[in-house]
Structure 1
Amino acid sequence: MSSSRIAALDLARGLALIGMLAVHVFPTFDADGSASLATQVAAGRSSATFAMMAGVGLALVTGGSTPVRGAELARSWASILVRAALIALIGLMLGYVTAWGGLEVYVILPFYAVMFVLVLPWLRVPPAGLFVAAGVVALTSTFAIEWVTGGVPLLDPAPDPDPTLGDALAHPIGLPLYLLTGGSYPALVWVCFLLAGLGLGRLDLRSPRLAAWCVGVGSVVAVGAWTISQILLYPLGGLRHLRRAAPEDWSDERLLWAPHPGEFDTWWWYALRAPHSDAPLALCIAMGSAVAIFGVTLLAARSAAVLRVLSPLSAAGSMVLTLYCAHIVVLATGLFDDSPGLQFVMLLAAMLAFAAWWRPRHRRGPLEALIAIPVAAVRRRGTP
């Protein structure tokens, strides 16, 4: 793996981390009822970038543009399964933290772990096939889940707000089904971002032409999906139909930014672009944005001067699991809760400062290093 490819990946992860921090700290809506700046800029897009970069990372550790095969592929499967299990465990433990702190941050890690498992059979698929699969999943998966389940919760009671290890023990079948089809990051839907990232990671990421294509194509997809949504909602009257189906106290702003799957008994729901609604157009906007962001970081990583300036951000991206978990723990304490702006600045400064201090001294972040130990042991032993 070339240093520029890794630097681009770390920069994109760092940007995703900042976006997720902003979404967790600032309210969804301002006092006047309008969507907050954090919601408009980062909601949905930051977590999609986070997931897509996981796909890029999987591609790089399984051969890059030349996928591993044979015994090496089997070892990769085993190590990824171990990594997924440990990430799921960490995520389920964070569920206790969010419950204790009364947070509604919707921890992505348990869903993220299931996405790792889902993407395993795709490790040998060529980039074109991965991009097609990502598009098909984005456009059809939410509809398929609603059609199969009929909107009936598959885990009763559903986690509030996040699943815990106790939920896993109490619902050994129901919780995996919930992670596959429910919550804010249903794995059967959000795996589209990992598939797209896996496809990108199979290409020549050293190519400036590819970076430019990522910026261009990603922007066209995001803007195109937004434009289609705009046409469906306004000139074609979709927003009017949604307003009739929504609760009486819902404003148009909430209709555009807050819905979740199954909240409206109307086909016009699929015209929405609300973050985490998992509507097809919303997924396309998030996917296009993530591809464009990665293209920008690929271009930025080609400049040594830019990398020096952005080194704290790159360092944060190299230990994104550690910093993601740490910021949730800090938020649960209620520190600076009365001043979201100060809370955001203090947390961001602390994350960047810690990462900049830790990175020159250690190869990996603290949690990343802990996970690497059993993963490396599995690779050394071969397939179980």
Structure 2
Amino acid sequence: MSPAAAAATSRRIRGVDAARGIALLGMMSTHIFPLFDKGLDGGAAEPSFVGLVFSGRSSALFAVVAGVGLALLTGGSRPHFGRGLMADRAGIAVRAVLIGAIGLLLGGLDVNIAIILVNYAVLFLCALPFLQLRLPTLAGLAAGWMLLSPALAFLLRPWALANVPPEGVLGHSPGTADLFQPWMLLSDIFLTGYYPVLQWFSYILVGLTIGRLDLLRTSHQLWLLACGAVAAVGAKALSWLTMDKLGGYAEVAATGPAQRADFDAIYVVNMSWVEQQDSWWWLGSASPHSGAGLDLLHTSGTAAVVLALCLLIGSRWPALLAPLSGPGAMTLSLYAAHVWIMAMVLEVGLPLTRGQLYWSQVVLVVVAGMLFQAAGWKGPLEAVTSTAARATRTLAGGRSRLPS
């Protein structure tokens, strides 16, 4: 590879890593700061800045960039096939199993965080049959999945809830103990949990589609920026038309699950706290974590905008991205460290404000990421997963290659 090509590849990866770093910092903010605050004199709850900006969007960005990473690992704009693709799939499957194991261990911590790693690992496994597809096919699949999966989830969730054993506990971060209740675990991962794979696979397909672009080309970066902005704004506009102008919000507000004092605020910041049933109008919402098609479209659009901006900056001024791309290159290690720190803070009861707790971790994350990047090191958990994936890929008959 020529020096120019190597530099271009580094800049492209730095842009992707920077987007992943933004997702990490955004998710950390939603774990620490409240998503809505009480109004003046104890009045109605009001959405907070973190709730309005980061809720739903940060985790969606994390998932979309995961899809981009899978595309880069399997050939980028020229997807692998044959024996090379078989080796890619084997390496990705091992990586997914290890990530899922880490997620199960973190799920055993006493911490009020919806840990994404088990769902993230299952999304990787679900992507394996789609890795050979090219951009037009992936784009069509992403659009169809985004349209149909929310309706399918709406039909299946009541059935899943009715068939979960009475002792089952839904809506929590999966832990090792859940392996002994496989039906509950599968229900939580695919339908009833915080990151339902049935709908969230849309983000992986969107990421795979983006990753099949030539991300080094400025024209493709600008195209991605424009399409993302149109999707994000258009989804919110359609939701406003459906829910506000056509009466959808009044219909869902009259259902049983919406009969709670803080529903108006929850509708704006996090719909995972409400069981969406009794009305098809729920599918017209673009609210964060609603899992509706317009929510998936809006958050995919915002993810595309963030990624496009990072790629554009990384192609011209890569040094500017170092505080983000460093952490973004080792998010698995830093995410696990963040969850562990939050569990320890909860157990010890450190007298820190939310702001102090967040910004101290931001400094830790950025400094660690930049130091590891400058030294050319992988994060500890990244080293384990990439080494195992590379060894598996070699055993499966493919060329050993560095992960993107």
TM range (shorter): over 0.9
Greater mean deviation of Cα atoms: 355-364 or 118-127: 355-364
Rate the CA distance shift 1:267–1:173 in 2: closer, same or farther, 3 A.
Answer: closer
| Contact residue 288 and residue 295 of structure 2 kept, 8 A | yes
2:363 is equivalent to residue 352 of structure 1: no
C-alpha distance in 2 between matches for 1:17 and 1:343: 15
Provide the residue aligned with 1:312 in structure 2: 323
Q: Using a 3 Å threshold, how does the CA distance of structure 1 residues 112 and 356 change in structure 2: closer, same or farther?
A: same
Q: Distance in 1 between matches of 2:22 and 2:137?
A: 28
Shift of 1:150: 3.1
TM-score by length of 2: 0.89
Which one of 56, 78, 82 corresponds to residue 44 of structure 1? 56
CA shift, 1:307, in A, is 2.0
Other structure's SS at 2:154 match: helix
Cα distance, 1:111 vs structure 2: 0.5
Structure 2: how far apart are the matches of 1:382 and 1:212? Answer: 38
CA contact (8 A) 2:55 2:270 kept: no
- 1:367 pairs with one of 355, 358, 381: 381
Is residue 313–residue 321 contact of structure 2 (8 Å, CA) maintained in 1?
A: no
Does the CA-based 8 Å contact 2:114-2:194 persist in structure 1? Answer: yes
| 2-structure distance, mates of 1:241, 1:29 | 24
Of residues 181, 189, 203, the one that matches 2:199 is 189
Residues 110-125 of structure 1 aligned to structure 2 (within 5 Å)? 110-125=118-133
Determine what percentage of the aligned residue pairs are the same residue: 34
Maintained 8 Å contact 1:34/1:253: yes
Kept in 1, the 8 Å contact 2:23–2:61? The answer is yes
Q: How does 1:171-250 map to 2 (within 5 A)?
A: 171-245=181-255, 246-250=258-262
TM-score normalised per structure 1: 0.93
Asked if residue 109 in structure 1 is aligned to residue 117 in structure 2, the reply is yes
Q: For residues 242 and 256 of structure 1, do their structure 2 counterparts lie closer, same or farther at Cα, with a shift above 3 Å needed? A: farther
The residue type paired with residue 121 of structure 2 is: A
Which SS does the other structure have where 1:302 is aligned?
Answer: helix
Conserved? CA contact 1:115–1:188, under 8 Å: no
Distance in 1 between residues matched to 2:107 and 2:226, nearest whole Å? 38
Code of the aligned partner of 1:375: A
Q: Which consecutive aligned stretches of 4+ in structure 1 deviate over 6 angstroms post-superposition?
A: none
Matched, 1:71 2:86: no
Moved more, 336-345 or 312-321: 336-345
> What residue number does 2:19 align with?
12
Question: Of 113, 135, 143, which aligns to 1:135?
Answer: 143
Secondary structure at the aligned position of 1:310 is classed as helix
Contact 2:314 2:321 in 1 (8 A): no
Which has the higher mean CA deviation after the structures are superposed, 328-337 or 314-323? 328-337
Paired residues of 2:72 and 2:211 also in contact (CA < 8 A): yes
Q: Deviations over 1:299-333 (max 9, x none)?
A: 01111xx3213212110000011111111111112
8 A contact 1:243–1:255 mirrored in 2: no
- Gapped runs of 5+ residues in structure 1? none
Deviation at 1:109, TM superposition (A): 0.6
How many residues get paired? 377
2:83 paired with 1:83: no
Report the counterpart of residue 169 of structure 2 in structure 1.
158
Tell me the CA shift for residue 208 of structure 1. Answer: 0.5
The alignment's C-alpha RMSD in Å is: 1.9
Pairwise CA distance, 1:336: 5.2
Equivalent residue for 2:336?
A: 325
SS in 2 for 1:30: strand
1:28 aligns with 2:35: yes
Counterpart of 2:288 (choices 261, 267, 275) is 275
> Would you say the 8 A contact 2:248–2:284 is kept in 1?
yes
Q: Deviations over 1:78-119 (max 9, x none)?
A: 11110110010000001011xx23x1x211110111111111
8 Å CA contact 1:337–1:343 kept in 2: the answer is no
- Distance in structure 2 (CA, Å) of the matches to 1:232 and 1:68: 42
Separation in 1, partners of 2:91, 2:351 = 39
Q: The residue matched to 1:301 in structure 2 has which SS?
A: helix
Mean alpha-carbon deviation: is it higher for 63-72 or for 261-270? 261-270
Residue 265 of structure 2 aligns to a residue whose secondary structure is: helix
Question: Which digits, 9 at most, give the CA deviation of each residue in 1:18-77, with x for residues without a partner?
Answer: 110111111111122111111111111111111111111111111111111111111111
